[in-house]
Every structure is written in structure tokens, then in C-alpha cells.
Structure 1
Amino acid sequence: MKHRITTDRTIWATLASAAVVAAATGCGPTTTDAGAKDTKATSPSPAKPKDAFDSLTGSQISSKALAALKSASSMRVSGTVPADDKTNQSMQVNVAMDTQGSCRGSLTLPGTVSLELLRKGKGAFYIKGNEKFWRAMLTELAKDGEGLTRKQANAAVDMLKSRWVKADEKSAKDLTATNFCDMDKLQDLGGHSDVTRGADVVVAGRPVAVIYDREDWRVTTVHVAKTGKPYPVQITTTDSSSAAPDTLVKFSEFNKPVDTTLPPADQIIDANNLG
């Protein structure tokens, strides 16, 4: 099979470029002063705990975020990203991955295509698509001169839509982008210039430092945890020049095992037996 869903490449490029910002150099200190002393107080107030990022610049916070990201053995990436450059649809992404090559997750275009992906270590890939995914695949194969008759296509979809297809890396790449299982790619990214530290905020009850990058009409904002390890925990990207929806990606479940339980044997079809 030659076809690969084009949205997969777009999603991964978005995630990768956003992660670059988390690893980027920045500029501009920010103040964390709690305010003027209360001259009316009759007794000294308890000392305010030192802020984890007290007096740090954006560049220094970015270095800490990159070091934390590189130290993680696993993580989950979830959120919504533009499906492609031509529509205003968003793709939902939810993938857990580790540095050993294992992954488990899903990619969904609401109301249309959905795809599940599973891999244990450096072993085979297991791919499960819904009916619309496989029909789209067969349509593309027909364009490549490898199409089936309508009867054959319907039979193939009925066989595949409720099962997992076991594939080696080459076959998996033909079916979909396998970069979603490559955690090293997110951990090994270069820097970026012109990243600025903004005002700290609280997200879901968690204090985070804010780093943002502005490029033409596009603004990418990265939230870095101020408690525990300074992991990048949320990335948003907006582009006022485009009708495409915003990107919102969250990083979580650092260093937690990835569930690589394989599906029952009677639900698996070997791609090598598909002809």
C-alpha cells in the first residue's frame, strides 16, 4: 500500500514545531514580587516560599523545560490540531509513548475517520481504523491503480473495520505516519530565537510559567510547570491570518508505563496476508 493519511504529517509537524518552542531560548526577565510590605502590620508575615522560577529569564526556563522533557521515559500527548491547511476541521490526538518505541493512542477526525495505533517496544505495529478510514484508504489505492472492484472493496472494509492489522514498520508507514511512536523526535529538537517570557498563570489549579513566540500572525504559547519537574505541559498556537482552528496540545503522564496489552489473536489480521 502506498497511501498515507496526509493529516498525520500535518499533526506531527505541528506537535514538533510546538515542542521546539518549549526547548527554545527566550528573553526578558519577569518580576515575581508579591507587592509592597504592609506597613501597618504589627508582626512580621511568614516568608513567602521562593518561586521555582524566581528571577529566571525565558531562556533559562526553556533550558529547564528541555532538560526535563529529555529526562522523561514516557508521556502522553493529547489535544486538537488542524486537520490540514485547507479545511477548518480539527483532528483529536491522544497518544501515550515511551523512549523504547512503545505507544498506544488514537487519531480522530470527528464524524469521519478514526484510527488507533499500538506498538510494544520495537516490535510490530497494530493499526485499527474505522469503516471510513479503510474506505478512504481503498479510494486512494484506486487512484494509484491498485483499486478493487466495489464488491471486493466492500468485503475488504467489512473484514478490516473491526480488527487490528499487524504490520511491520514499512507496511505501517504505508498505512499511516508512525512518527507518533517516536518520542525521541520530540525530545531531540533544536532551539528557536525570539521567545519571550510572559506573565505566570494558573492552569487547572497548577501554576505555570508562560513562554511565547510570535512569528508574523502566528503566536505559539507554551506553559511550563512551576511545581515538580519543569515539564512543558500545554501548548497553544493561534494564527489570525488563517481560518484554521487553533492548536491545543497537552503533555501529561510523564514516566508512567504505556499500556501495550495486545488485542486477542482472533482480532488481528497480518498485513502480509492481505495480498
Structure 2
Amino acid sequence: MLSKRLAATVVVCCALAAGASGCGPAKAPAGSAEAAAPSVSVSASASVSASKGPHLDTDKLTAAEIEKQAQAAMASLSSVKVSGNLMVEGQKMTLDLATDTKGNCQGTIGVAGMGLIEIIHTGGSSYLKPDAAFWKAIVGQKGDAKAGAAAAELFKGRYLTGAKDDPELAELSDMCDMIKSMTENDDTDDGAIKGAAATVGEVRTFTVISTDDDGSRTTAHVATEGKPYLVKVTHEGTDPGEMSFSDFDKPITVQAPPADNVIDYSQFRAKIATA
């Protein structure tokens, strides 16, 4: 199902953090950047026109047909913004990413108890900029708080990058290809059922509900006016969370960071290993 494909792409964030140390569940320290991570919302620019374009005939369509139309609409996008918070294998994460089909991506990912990572992907290269809280958490897990503070100062304002064939950075590239990830599997859930009319922000939607074998429930909100975009997905039960979609087809401009603010990822890992 579309929503399951999306949730799977977020797992790579933990793998990136684990490149320096373990990425286990932890409580976010008071005042940390993670605690102030972006919440899920649909911005005003995300609104699907309520007066123009076709209307989704939810009375006549089956749940699977509504899913198919949403998949087709999302597959036609040139760009989209994805914001959300979710629990992945016991790890709470937040994300706020804008991505397009030209290979550009920019935004942040937050990991509970660690902080935020700014992400830039453009021109086939990926760049990561963890905040101070993240640096302190990575190095501090070795039991040396002073080393964590030193690392935060050493890498302050710096981005990590590396070879395109680096497996962890390759995973980041795949994650930024969010539109493809949402649509490369066009299967629909035969067990999905129709929900009811709803509203997300200013967007009128209709819900499609799927239930997993373990009882977890996924609710997809599909816009009923204009193109039938997927506007929001919520998951209740195992690994709960939600994701919202906005800025449909809104062009994004992404620039690589200045070369003097970039550190090779392999050098970073070597420095962390000896910290």
C-alpha cells in the first residue's frame, strides 16, 4: 500500500545516525533541538483548489479505485513537501522535506533524544548538517560529555558529504526520492474500506482505511476536489505516526553548501572513532 512504502523510506535516518554510533530509543533532553522539531501540518500553500478541477466521486468509487487515483495523482507530481512524525522500530522521528523529480531535496529529519539533521541533496551529491544536540548525542554515547561538546564545536556549521557509492549516503539519496518511493509499488489493498468525508487544513478529503494483521490501522486522506492528491496519512497501532503532504508541484531551489563548509564523510567517521 502507498502509505507503507512511504513509512519504509524513513527508516534510513536511523541508519545514518548509526554510522557514528548506536541509534537506540532515548528521551529527548529538555530544550534540545529535537524537542522543537517541526510538527505535522498542512500549510496554506498546500491547499487543493476547492473551486476548480474535477471532483472525486466517492459515492461510486471503491476504496481500491480511490487509492489508484491517489497513486496516479502523486505519480504525476514534479515536487512535493512531506512533513510528519512517526515511530519506526521503537524510534521516534520527525521529518520535514521538500523534494522534486529532478533529484533536489532539502529539509530536516529529527531523531528523538539526538536532535536534528539538515539534509541537502542536489547534483547527485548529499550533504548532512547535524545540529549541536546531535553531535553531542553521537559522541556522548561513548560516555564522554566533554568530547561530545568538543565535536559539536568542531563540526559547527559544517556539512558532511562523501562518495556517491557510500551506502549510507546512497540510502539518503533514495529517501529524498520520495515521489518515486510513494508510487513505484502501485498495488492497492484489497482489504481497504471506504471511510468518510473529512477536512485537513482547508482541504476537503475522503478517507480510505486499511487494517493490518496485527490490528494496526492506516487512514489515508485523499483530496476530493481538484487532483486527488494524498494529503495526509495516519497510522495507529504498531509504530504509530502521521505524514502530511503539501506544496504540490511548487518548484524548489536547492543549492549545495560552500566547499569550505563541507567535510568528507569518511574523515568524519575517522574523527568520531578516535574522539
User: Under a length normalisation based on structure 2, what TM-score does the superposition of the two structures give?
Assistant: 0.68
Mark the CA change 1:136 to 1:152 in structure 2 (over 3 Å): closer, same or farther: closer
Q: What residue in structure 2 maps to residue 253 of structure 1?
A: 247
1:162 to 157, 160, 166: 157
**Residue 171 (structure 2) pairs with residue 173 (structure 1):** no
- Cα displacement (A) at 1:160: 1.3
Q: What residue in structure 2 maps to residue 68 of structure 1?
A: 73
- Cα displacement (A) at 1:233: 0.6
1:237/1:248 contact within 8 Å kept? yes
- Cα displacement (A) at 1:55: 1.5
Could you give the per-residue CA deviations for residues 44-101 of structure 1, whole angstroms, max 9, x where no partner exists? xxxxxx953142111211111111111111111101111542x6xx322101111222
1:65/1:232 contact within 8 Å kept? yes
Q: Which aligned runs of 4 or more in structure 1 are off by greater than 6 angstroms?
A: 149-153
- Cα displacement (A) at 1:165: 1.7
1:195 to 177, 192, 196: 192
Report the structure number with the largest CA radius of gyration.
1
Give 1:248's aligned amino acid: E
Mark the CA change 1:5 to 1:252 in structure 2 (over 3 Å): closer, same or farther: farther
Q: What residue in structure 2 maps to residue 17 of structure 1?
A: none
Mark the CA change 1:182 to 1:3 in structure 2 (over 3 Å): closer, same or farther: farther
Aligned residues: 220
% identical aligned pairs: 28
Secondary structure of the equivalent of 2:250? coil
User: Under a length normalisation based on structure 1, what TM-score does the superposition of the two structures give?
Assistant: 0.68
Cα distance in 2 for partners of 1:67, 1:176 equals 25
Secondary structure of the equivalent of 1:165? strand
Give 1:59's aligned amino acid: A
Q: Which segment drifts farther, 154-163 or 51-60? A: 154-163
Cα distance in 2 for partners of 1:174, 1:137 equals 17
- Cα displacement (A) at 1:266: 3.5
Give 2:199's aligned amino acid: V
Cα distance in 2 for partners of 1:66, 1:94 equals 21
Secondary structure of the equivalent of 2:226? coil
Cα distance in 1 for partners of 2:118, 2:21 equals 14
Could you give the per-residue CA deviations for residues 125-172 of structure 1, whole angstroms, max 9, x where no partner exists? 1110023323444467x79xxxxx998766444221321122233447
1:210 to 182, 207, 212: 207
Cα distance in 1 for partners of 2:138, 2:251 equals 32
Q: What residue in structure 1 maps to residue 83 of structure 2?
A: 78
Cα distance in 1 for partners of 2:169, 2:55 equals 49
Please list every run of 5 or more consecutive structure 2 residues that lacks an aligned counterpart in the other structure.
1-17, 25-53, 271-275
2:217/2:236 contact within 8 Å kept? yes
Cα distance in 2 for partners of 1:188, 1:238 equals 24
Supply the RMSD in Å over aligned alpha carbons.
3.2
- Cα displacement (A) at 1:269: 2.4
Mark the CA change 1:121 to 1:175 in structure 2 (over 3 Å): closer, same or farther: closer
Cα distance in 2 for partners of 1:51, 1:75 equals 21
Q: Which segment drifts farther, 190-199 or 67-76? A: 190-199
Mark the CA change 1:110 to 1:152 in structure 2 (over 3 Å): closer, same or farther: closer
Mark the CA change 1:112 to 1:80 in structure 2 (over 3 Å): closer, same or farther: same
- Cα displacement (A) at 1:247: 0.8
Secondary structure of the equivalent of 1:62? helix
Mark the CA change 1:137 to 1:235 in structure 2 (over 3 Å): closer, same or farther: same
- Cα displacement (A) at 1:256: 1.7
Mark the CA change 1:272 to 1:111 in structure 2 (over 3 Å): closer, same or farther: closer
